[in-house]
Amino acid sequence: MLARVAENIYWLARYLERAENTARLISVNANLLLDLQRGYELGWLPLIEITGSRLAFDSQKRRSDEREIVQFLLADAENPGSISASLNAARENARTLRDILPDEAWEILNEFFQEFTAQLPAGLNRRTRFDFLKRIVLGSQTLAGVLDGTMSRTDAYTFMMLGRNLERADMTSRIVDVRSAQILPAAASDLVPFHTIQWISVLRSLSGQHMYRQTRRGRVSRVECLDFALRDAQFPRSCMFCLRQVELSLRTLSRSSGVLDTLAGAHRFLAQVDFFQIDQPGLHQLIDHLQVYLSGVHASIAQAYFPALPGNARRPIQNQVQDRGSTLPLFT
């Protein structure tokens, strides 16, 4: 398939996944805050850091309260990571792919986008927000289901899966990061029950609560939760699972050995982590490292398969935010 089209379908999948997971992100933070006692909460500001949108947010001189931050993450056109901007970018990419995508997929994406726009006020209202976020997740899942159920397993599908799984790995790590940001004083023993509630919230945001119970059994613990979200081999939203899917996709492509090498580095990094040894600040650092690895995989895919950018070429569709939040140099 055309290199440019491969790139567009890759980004289509990334933006859809990003919209879905940003909805999950907002939802987990809201849940965590509800579970916390007054006085301990850090509020909404950590989401700005976690989504890597600090610069965009600061430049708008907004107040850092719930209303402003949720508006910024849901609907702000100037924030390239907002759900609204992501869905818009997904739609613009899909527009360039109308000859590739099944008819139903385009119809559903259109309806999804129109419904999102129409219902946006409900998303900004605290009382109706959960339902709104749930519908975004469902909308994205519906579309993914239609694509899975109707697309031939050609290169187009492969690049879509690459985008989806890479973005999902990245966003799952960010959702876990929300938890690491809402730190409770470790010494306060009366807060132990709250720790557990918080991890359950994280699982719920990943739609993983049920699967966790089935495979891990027993009490929800921090170490088990981290292992489940980041390293579980069966759960489709865990980082490790997604990396494995990326690998399978790459193996169907020609000229993928370079990308596979990069991917192996990310895989090794994640495999060797000992969650018992990691405290909360350490967790944040670990996730930062992981994201650097993931953006390395992206760069490697782009170099191998996407069009090289000639000097005057425009590239209209992407909101370039894939390297957000990475504060560390790329490991070698």
Partner 1 sequence: MRIDWTSYSAPGLHDELIGPGGGARVAGRALARYLTELGGAEIGVRQQAAELAIKAMGITFTVYHEQGGSIDRSWPLDIIPRTIARKEWNRIEAGLRQRVTAINHFIDDIYHQQRIVADGIVPIGIIASSRNFRPLCIGVSPPAHCWAHICGSDLIRGADGTVYVLEDNLRVPSGVSYMIENRQVVKRVFPELFDSAVILPVDDYPAQLYDMLAALAVHCTGKPEVVVLTPGIYNSAYFEHAYLARQMGCELVEGRDLRVDDDDCVFMQTTRGEQRVDVIYRRIDDDFLDPEAFRADSTLGVPGLMRAWAAGKVALANAPGAGVADDKLVYTYVPDMIRYYLGEAAILPNVPSWRCGEPAQLEHVLANLESLVIKPVDGSGGYGMLMGPMSTQRERAQFAAQLKAAPRNFIAQPVITLSTVPTFVGDRLEPRHVDLRPFILSGPSTYVTTGGLTRVALRKGSLVVNSSQGGGSKDTWIVDTEG
Chain residues in the site for partner 1 (CB under 8 A): 1-6, 92, 95-96, 98-100, 103, 106-107, 110-111, 155, 159, 253-255, 305, 307, 310, 312-314, 316
CB of 108 to partner 1, least distance (A): 9
Which DSSP symbol is given to 324? T
CA distances in angstroms from 139 to 53, 175, 261, listed in the order given? 24, 19, 35
Q: Which is nearer to partner 1, 107 or 131 (CB)?
A: 107
User: CA-CA distance, 127 to 139, in Å (whole number)?
Assistant: 20
Q: Which is nearer to partner 1, 99 or 190 (CB)?
A: 99
CB of 74 to partner 1, least distance (A): 21
Q: Which is nearer to partner 1, 2 or 186 (CB)?
A: 2
Q: Which is nearer to partner 1, 98 or 134 (CB)?
A: 98
Question: Are the C-beta atoms of 226 and 273 separated by less than 8 Å?
Answer: no
**190 Cβ contact partners less than 8 Å away, ≥ 6 residues apart:** none
CB of 4 to partner 1, least distance (A): 5
Q: Which amino acid is at 125?
A: N
CB of 246 to partner 1, least distance (A): 16
Q: Which is nearer to partner 1, 104 or 148 (CB)?
A: 104
User: CA-CA distance, 236 to 97, in Å (whole number)?
Assistant: 26
CB of 90 to partner 1, least distance (A): 14
Helix (H, G, I), strand (E, B) or coil at 250: helix
Question: Are the C-beta atoms of 30 and 171 separated by less than 8 Å?
Answer: no
DSSP 65-134: SHHHHHHHHHH-TT-TTSHHHHHHHHHHHHHTTTTTS-HHHHHHHHHHHHHHHHHHHHHHSTTTHHHHHH
CB of 319 to partner 1, least distance (A): 15
Q: Which is nearer to partner 1, 214 or 303 (CB)?
A: 303
φ/ψ of residue 317, rounded to 5:
-95, -35
CB of 154 to partner 1, least distance (A): 10
Q: Which is nearer to partner 1, 104 or 279 (CB)?
A: 104
